[in-house]
Amino acid sequence: MLNVIVNPKIRKMKKLVAEIDARMKERGVACRFFYSSKRGDARKYAHSLTAAGQTQLVVVGGDGTVNEVLSGMVDPSAVTLGIIPAGTGNDFAAAVGIPLGAKAVSCILDGEPQPVDYIECGTRRALNIAGTGMDVEILRRCENMRCGGRRGKYFRSLLATLFRYKGSRLLVTVNGETREYNAMIAAVCNGKQLGGGIPLCPAAQPDDGVMELVVVDCPPRRKLLPKLVRLMRGKLLEEPITHHIGCSAATVTSPDGKLYVQYDGEIFEEEALNAYLVGGKLHLWRI
């Protein structure tokens, strides 16, 4: 039995679900659908289903819905996960070659479950990227805006952040060493990209048993925009202000108090980002 957890806010949801259902029935695969209505519902569904011994979950949505489902699993090592990317951000699916929309059904019907890594972060997990910094500030401003479309909100949030951002004071512990940074971004990466295609860490591989830590020093404000452009083009890793370390665990705290952390685009206020890699324990349908 496939348990399909759907984010109903995705575009053309009814048409997509009907197509998924039809494709499954053609192949004689039984499935049932669960629809989230608010933030946290997908996590609750994943928890209750896996607690009841259901081990085959499919997510229809973006990175945020996938994150909720992963975080809700009682034991990810017992689960086979399918992703049908249909959200505003589908960065992890892109990193592992899963096509958008109904085309991804073929990965479940014709593919084989393959082991992938994930990042354990205490009460949360991340399949793609977890971190803090300027990108989180932009997303927070965007979430708090009431007027305008998604693109307009993001653009205004970006401009406001560029004029005000001074960096985030962070203490980063990795491989037994702690250093202080005034950071533009600090993130642990299992996937290659975030924010709908920004290649933060092209070197990351989601199935190699290594987590990539990326810390970017915050440049002077007059240089923020050009550095951000280089980041969006995947060029920032080449610069001296970027620190790139392969690791199995990392901790990020702020000497100024709590910090806002995004887990695959889902933002929470935390005492710290405590991350360690769980290698190859989750199984993902891929071709």
What would the pLDDT profile of 173-196 be if each residue is shown by its tens digit?
A: 999 999 999 999 999 999 999 888
Check which CATH number belongs to the domain holding 151 and give it: 2.60.200.40
pLDDT band at 165 (very low <50, low <70, confident <90, very high): confident
Return the percentage of the chain with pLDDT > 70, whole number: 97
Residues 98 and 140 in one domain: no
Residues 63 and 190 in one domain: no
pLDDT in tens, 47-102: 999 999 999 999 999 999 999 999 999 999 999 999 999 988 899 999 899 999 99
Give the residue from 77, 110, 143 where a domain finishes: 110
pLDDT at 149 over 70: no
| Alpha-carbon span 56 to 113, nearest angstrom | 11
Give the residue from 49, 80, 110 where a domain finishes: 110
Residues 148 and 267 in one domain: yes
Nearest to 169 by CA among 236, 109, 252, 103: 252
pLDDT in tens, 192-207: 998 888 888 999 999 9
Alpha helices in 128-268 (DSSP H): 134-144, 150-164, 224-232
Q: Which of 196-200, 209-213, 241-245, 264-268 has the lowest mean pLDDT?
A: 196-200
| 122 located within any domain | no
Q: What is the mean pLDDT of residues 257-281?
A: 95
Residues 65 and 171 in one domain: no
| Boundaries of domain holding 84 | 2-110
Q: Whole-number mean pLDDT of the chain?
A: 92
Mean pLDDT is highest, among 10-19, 112-121, 138-147, for 112-121
Pick the more confident residue, 204 or 228: 204
| 165 located within any domain | yes
pLDDT at 158 over 80: no
Range list of β-strands (E), the chain: 2-6, 31-35, 56-61, 80-85, 112-121, 124-126, 129-133, 168-174, 177-189, 211-217, 242-247, 249-253, 259-263, 266-270, 273-286
Q: Which residue has the tokens 């997303």?
A: 139
Q: How many alpha carbons fall within 13 Å on the CB side of residue 154?
A: 8
Burial (CB count <10 Å: 0-12, 13-18, 19+), residue 32: exposed
The count of structural domains within the chain is: 2
| 121 located within any domain | no
pLDDT at 230: 86
Q: SS3 of 54, please?
A: coil
| 32 located within any domain | yes
| Alpha-carbon span 201 to 131, nearest angstrom | 12
pLDDT at 139 over 90: no
Check which CATH number belongs to the domain holding 106 and give it: 3.40.50.10330
Contact status, residue 54 vs residue 1, Cβ threshold 8 Å:
yes
What sign does the dihedral 282-30-69-142 (CA atoms) show?
positive
| Alpha-carbon span 178 to 253, nearest angstrom | 10
pLDDT band at 151 (very low <50, low <70, confident <90, very high): low
Residues 170 and 263 in one domain: yes
| 120 located within any domain | no
pLDDT band at 233 (very low <50, low <70, confident <90, very high): confident
Residues 104 and 135 in one domain: no
Residues 19 and 150 in one domain: no
The pTM assigned to this predicted structure is 0.92
